[in-house]
Structure 1
Amino acid sequence: MGQTKTIESDLKELELNALLEVTEAINNNLSEESLYKIYHFTLLANLKVKKLALFVQSESEWNCKVFFGVDQALISSIPVDSFEDEVKVKSLRDAECHDFDHIIPVLHKSKLLALVFVGDIAETVEGFTNNSATTFLEALTNIILVAIENKKLARQQLEQEAFKKELEIAKQVQNYLFPKNLPATDQFEVAAFYQPHHNVGGDYYDYIPIDEDQFLLCIADVSGKGVPAALMMSNFQASLHTLVRQTNDLTTIVSELNHQIKFSGNGEIFITFFVAIYSKSQQTLRYVNCGHNPPLLQVNFKEDIELTKGTTVLGMFEPLPFVEMGVIENLAEFYLFCYTDGLNEAINPDEEEFGEDRILEGIKSVQNSRPNELNQAMMDAVNNFRKGQEYRDDVTILSAKFKS
């Protein structure tokens, strides 16, 4: 009887020491890997556990984090999934689970965190069983895993906060890209509509006055979304403004932009781009379409044409395989409607796309209206068409009306 009490006292002391070691490690904010190592050492060296395999569930998969006393091949053969419903310590002596004696489910707030397979925890000595050992092992594993779980949650929270801050910065960067003021006179009016698919999109539009006679209009869509897209578009906008101050030759501008995108994007980021320069004195519109949805031009408020001439998507080839500049002459008055593919690719519940034909119908239905009225009418049309279906991409519209 005295011997049993001595064994119990020794075991309690070992357990207390193990708890102190683990608690100190947690308080010192050691890494997940270090906590598993301390768990391994404590059970093997201090508590004399001979065989153990700790399986932790992560994203619906079971991963063995600690094992000793058994071969790797044995670990791979354990049918862990078949024990997912266990809520109490269970004997494995009647089960085909090799040399393990017990399975210990480790739960926290009714959530199964881990399964511990153990063998030879403590020898039965004159009325003393290994029940207390399994109970302590369950408690120790719970402490370790809850600490690791809390570290993961804290890390996820920090990552989410960092991501949120990145998005906020990207959103601010993107807001700086768009022109603060667009012309709105009886002779010339420009209006834009922008709706990102998520917090930060990859679309861009601009109006750049060149001199008293000429102005530039453009619209673009970068592949990808979020912070990388916003940063790439920021570089693109800065490069465009710099080039426009140096030249108004569209072929040169497009070629230089393509070179910079190919270089800075490492051939992995592409931009569709439409750019046009109008000369009031010459009544001429010059444009280049770089793989973008063809804008619609209403020539002298009569004939509707698509502006398709240009080149391929920017950033894909260096140099560009070809560049063809389109020229529209005798253009005393016009309506220009530009958009990104979030508009025409919007779908209804039947998976049918809004399409270019409905865009053309929308333009014709509000002829002689102001650009902002046209934009609103187009968005009303696509929203009625969608019937609540989500947009699949950013939606950007740029409309311009010029009267002589």
Structure 2
Amino acid sequence: MGEHRIAGLLNFIVVAAVGAVAYTDWVIVADVSLAYLYVLPIALCALVNPLPFTIALGVVCTFLGDIFGPPAVSLYWRVVHNVVYLASFLVVGFLVTLIARQRDRMAEEVRRQRDEYERDLELAAQVQHRVLPRPLSLPGIDIAAEMKTARLLGGDYYDFFPVSDDVVDVVIADVSGKGAAAALLMPSLAVALRLRARELEGPAQVIADLDGVLKQMTNSATFVTMFYARLNRASRILQYANAGHNPPVLMRAGSCEALLLEEAGGPILGILNGAQYSDASITLGTGDILTLFTDGVTEQENALGDEFAVDRLKDVICHDGTGSAAEVVARVSEAVSAFAGETVQADDLTLVVLKVL
């Protein structure tokens, strides 16, 4: 639609320019031919129209130059002038048409490559979502999650999986940056975690091991924040470690008392050599809700530049905490979207909600 509008505008300029030159040649300048000025509208015409149309315009401009220009001293020179002008117009039109065709071929090649790139991104996005875990149903706990990427590909990651009959691990992470570069790390994180989680004793060891893997795969410009938790369903003890990630919100049942799990952990993954990580633990009760999130939730802005913030997140969980984990995830996602309004989503939004039954 935009290309047609531009072509129409250029054709209007061509007609106006031809009329202006003809009028000037006829009325204003009486002794000197201005037919050479028709070269500009002919060149513009060749940019957006087929060659036959440009040839026809060249003939018309030659005729206008002959009619409105000063009279020739003889028929011979009149013919010579017209032939020279027509030949010049045709050469310019032909050369500009070649340039326009080359431009169109390049534009078509760019569109083809863009379409291929978009198809590749769509396939990569499908793979990325397949890496994410499917809903998990275990006695005593209810887990749900959602990830809304700011682009087709995202740099957030979450997972939950049982490591034994009574133990389930829950993790959320945020890779620096957005788009394809950040998304490429996500499958590697998933594979490394699932391969090593069952062999290591706790979240701190898992994070430390992943820190070493990350340093081997990337440079220091790429880093990852992560929160890793391990829940024993029998004892209801939650063991966790935080590597520079947003502290999850733990909402106690029967009240709106909210705790931020930020006591233990260590630095961001992938930056410091010899980084040390430590575990903390807390006992969960029936009805408690643990909400893990990335900064795409709390840092989402509205039209006024205000952020959604942790306090609004707590309010939503408090108000809708009686529902299932999936319902809590849906309510938070809807609240963030309603708060943002027309403001574009600036970062990936990821939520994991664990509810003790």
Task: Give me the TM-score of the superposition, normalised by structure 1.
Answer: 0.66
Aligned ranges 1:220-299 → 2 under 5 Å: 220-299=173-252
The CA deviation at 1:332 is 4.1
Letter in 2 for 1:219: I
Question: What is aligned with 2:310?
Answer: 356
Relative to total residues, which structure has the larger helix share, 1 or 2? 2
Question: What is aligned with 2:44?
Answer: 107
Partners of 2:243 and 2:337 lie apart in 1 by 28
Partners of 1:318 and 1:103 lie apart in 2 by 71
Letter in 2 for 1:248: E
- 1:183 aligned counterpart, secondary structure: strand
Aligned ranges 1:331-342 → 2 under 5 Å: 331-333=284-286, 334-342=288-296
Query: Percent same amino acid at aligned positions?
Result: 26
Partners of 1:200 and 1:207 lie apart in 2 by 21
- Contact 1:284–1:327 (Cα < 8 Å) also in 2: yes
Letter in 1 for 2:312: R
Question: What is aligned with 1:47?
Answer: none
Partners of 2:123 and 2:44 lie apart in 1 by 41
- Contact 1:173–1:230 (Cα < 8 Å) also in 2: no
The CA deviation at 1:241 is 0.6
Question: What is aligned with 2:119?
Answer: 165
Q: Is 1:375 aligned to residue 312 of structure 2?
A: no
Which structure would you say has the larger RCO, counting Cα contacts within 8 Å and 6 or more residues apart?
A: 2
More displaced stretch, 300-309 vs 286-295: 300-309
Structure 1, residues 29-64: CA drift from partner, whole Å, max 9, x if none? xxxxxxxxxxxxxxxxxxxxxxxxxxxxxxxxxxxx
Structure 1, residues 135-158: CA drift from partner, whole Å, max 9, x if none? 133123223212211221121122
The CA deviation at 1:209 is 0.1
Question: What is aligned with 2:265?
Answer: 310
Partners of 1:242 and 1:108 lie apart in 2 by 65
The CA deviation at 1:197 is 1.7
The CA deviation at 1:254 is 1.0
Relative distance call for 1:137 and 1:227 in structure 2 (3 A) is same
- Contact 1:166–1:227 (Cα < 8 Å) also in 2: no
- Name structure 2 gaps, 5 residues minimum: 1-15, 22-35, 50-75
Compute the RMSD of aligned alpha carbons. Answer: 3.0
Question: What is aligned with 1:389?
Answer: 343
Partners of 1:398 and 1:314 lie apart in 2 by 20
Relative to total residues, which structure has the larger strand share, 1 or 2? 1
- Contact 1:255–1:319 (Cα < 8 Å) also in 2: no
Letter in 2 for 1:296: V
Letter in 2 for 1:107: L
Letter in 1 for 2:158: Y
The CA deviation at 1:327 is 1.9
- 2:273 aligned counterpart, secondary structure: coil
Structure 1, residues 315-338: CA drift from partner, whole Å, max 9, x if none? 223332x3232222x434432111
Partners of 1:201 and 1:108 lie apart in 2 by 45
**How many residue pairs align between the two structures?**
297
Letter in 2 for 1:318: N
Question: What is aligned with 1:188?
Answer: 141
The CA deviation at 1:178 is 0.9
- Contact 2:46–2:96 (Cα < 8 Å) also in 1: no
Relative distance call for 1:143 and 1:343 in structure 2 (3 A) is same
Partners of 1:295 and 1:335 lie apart in 2 by 10
Task: Give me the TM-score of the superposition, normalised by structure 2.
Answer: 0.74
More displaced stretch, 246-255 vs 213-222: 246-255
Structure 1, residues 211-234: CA drift from partner, whole Å, max 9, x if none? 012110011122233332222111
Aligned ranges 1:82-101 → 2 under 5 Å: none
Q: Is 1:154 aligned to residue 91 of structure 2?
A: no
